[in-house]
Amino acid sequence: MPESVKTSRQGPIFEVILDRPKANAIDGATSRAMSEAFVTFRDDPNLRVAILTGAGTRFFSAGWDLKAAAEGATIEEDFGPGGFGGLSELPNLNKPVIAAANGMAVGGGFELLLAADLVIAAEHAEFFLSETRMGVIPDSASFRLPKQLPRPLAMEMLLTGRHYSAREVQGLGLINQVVQGPEVMDAARAIAAEILKGAPLAVEATKEIVRMGEGMPVAECYRTMRSKGFPTFERLLVSEDIQEGPRAFAEKRDPVWKGR
């Protein structure tokens, strides 16, 4: 894995750090390395929550590497199985990802936040989509933002390139917490610790249902559930953990989850 992507394990927490000075921009090799990291996270049963952040304090990520683009790289190159940044298109990722925005999230960097499940942002961070001014499109954001914001607000963000502060983006509902810069990773780890209190299969089944059900009407979600169309949920139903939760409650003790 190239030095631009660093990973570490803190027990069941998997931390991915984008470290590519000066702006943590992402070229093809970096994106493929990020895909490799998130595939590892997805497929390792000992890992339960991921935190994605950038090195330094100025940039979370400036998105697509425009210098590489100027030298001939295209947006159609191989970015790895997870798509750009390793996260936006990775199939069957049912474990939660927390984005810790330590600084500016620009273009594809902002799109990585939209692909995450929870977002912590440094108070000084800024967010904007600059693609149309570069002659390209914010494809992932074009898919995701209109599902997360009222259409006029999504279109303003997609088309104008306006800079938004962390507080503004939090007010739009796209950020969970805004903290002082040095506290970003501590806040992300604190949320991860809260997630880890839940049963592993229950957490994964919840994300699976949210992920698969986003484009379905509610009635279809129920039909899919009743026809056993959510495989992780089906594993949960026959797991030891689904019995452990009520038993621990009745015995007035903390549950001991086995993930099976």
Give me the active site residues, please: 111, 131
What are 57's two structure tokens? 């304090």
Paired tokens of 252: 């007035």
CA distance 97 to 41: 10
Task: Give all strands (DSSP E) within the chain, no chain letters.
Answer: 5-10, 13-18, 49-54, 59-61, 97-101, 104-106, 118-122, 126-128, 164-165, 177-179
Measured between alpha carbons, how far is 51 from 39 in angstroms, rounded to an integer? 14
Nearest partner of 109 among 93, 126, 134, 122, judged by Cα:
126
In order, the DSSP letters of 118-162 are EEEEETT-EEE--GGGGTS--HHHHHHHHHHS-HHHHHHHHHH--
Cα–Cα distances in angstroms (integers) from residue 136 to residues 48, 82, 109, 158, in the given order = 35, 20, 15, 11
Sign of the Cα torsion 22, 25, 30, 33 reads positive
Q: Which of 146, 163, 51, 184 is nearest to 105 (CA)?
A: 163
Token pair 């992920």 in the structure block, residue: 211
Structure-block tokens of residue 222: 């129920």
